[in-house]
Amino acid sequence: NAGVMQNPRHLVRRRGQEARLRCSPMKGHSHVYWYRQLPEEGLKFMVYLQKENIIDESGMPKERFSAEFPKEGPSILRIQQVVRGDSAAYFCASSQTLGGANTEAFFGQGTRLTVV
Amino acid sequence: DAKTTQPPSMDCAEGRAANLPCNHSTISGNEYVYWYRQIHSQGPQYIIHGLKNNETNEMASLIITEDRKSSTLILPHATLRDTAVYYCIVRVPFGADSSYKLIFGSGTRLLVRP
């Protein structure tokens, strides 16, 4: 059973371009979380999604950032018109509902975004 | 905001037990305590979680006080590869369908010395 897969692992964008980060959850997992980690800082919660639904986006910047988790395919974190301050590691995690309980979340290896 | 308090750094000798404390004095009755670690800049790795009872798995033991206001993660025989930042997290539930999110604090940077 493959773990949480994120791609690309490294992404370089020029200021003003768009960045699209992909996350394929573990097989059978229907919950996806996105986190951002700035250099030398902790992980900051961004958004929590279930299939086709955004459950909690309280950590998402109000502009330029969006996330989706379609019925088919990976979850996508999209950053429009990137700025240097968007440079960070973006981690995705997934979990599943088992026996009515939402189990532990497993993280991918992250996408390191560099804006030049 | 994170609901936990951890020392910023600790160290222990290789082969000895590492005991990492965590305070969560405002924890509610249905909130779990989770531990993750992050080695260098890799993705966080799940270690263990618990609600009321002490828990043990192949990686570690989790001791939760009776009042649930604090807990200790124990790595019984620390190795150099256990050097990492360890995060104690109170899992915040919401909704009626067991939805939750994990709010990370600053963690404890554990250095295992040869």
pLDDT score, position B95: 65
* Contacts of B48-53 spanning 24+ positions with Cβ under 8 A: B48/B73, B49/A104, B49/B91
Instruction: Select from A58, A104, A113 the residue whose CB has the most chain B CBs within 10 Å, as the one to mutate to test that interface.
Output: A104
pLDDT score, position B91: 85
pLDDT score, position A97: 74
Structure-token pair, residue A76: 């996508």
pLDDT score, position A99: 60
CB distance A110–B41 less than 8 Å? Answer: yes
Q: Is A107 left (phi over 0), alpha (psi -120 to 50) or beta?
A: beta
Q: Is B40 left (phi over 0), alpha (psi -120 to 50) or beta?
A: left
Q: Which residues contact A51 (CB under 8 A, 6 or more apart)?
A: A30, A69, A70, A71
CA dihedral A28→A31→A36→A40, nearest 10 degrees, is: -70
Q: Answer whether the bond into residue A8 is a cis peptide, omega within 30°.
A: yes
Beta bridge partners of A90: A36, A111
For the cut 80, the answer to whether the pLDDT of residue A14 exceeds it is yes
CB contacts, 8 Å: A110 with chain B: 41-43
Question: Which among A45, A107, A112 has CB closest to B44?
Answer: A107
pLDDT score, position B67: 93
CB contacts, 8 Å: A108 with chain B: 43
pLDDT per residue as tens digits for the range A27-74: 989 899 999 999 888 899 999 999 889 999 999 999 999 999 999 999
CB distance A45–B104 less than 8 Å? Answer: yes
Q: How confident is the model at residue A1 (pLDDT cuts 50, 70, 90)?
A: low
Spatial distance between the Cα atoms of B3 and B88, rounded to a whole number of angstroms? 9
pLDDT, one tens digit for every residue, chain B (114 residues): 668 999 999 999 999 999 999 999 988 888 889 999 999 889 999 999 999 889 999 999 999 999 999 999 999 999 999 999 999 998 877 666 667 888 888 899 999 999
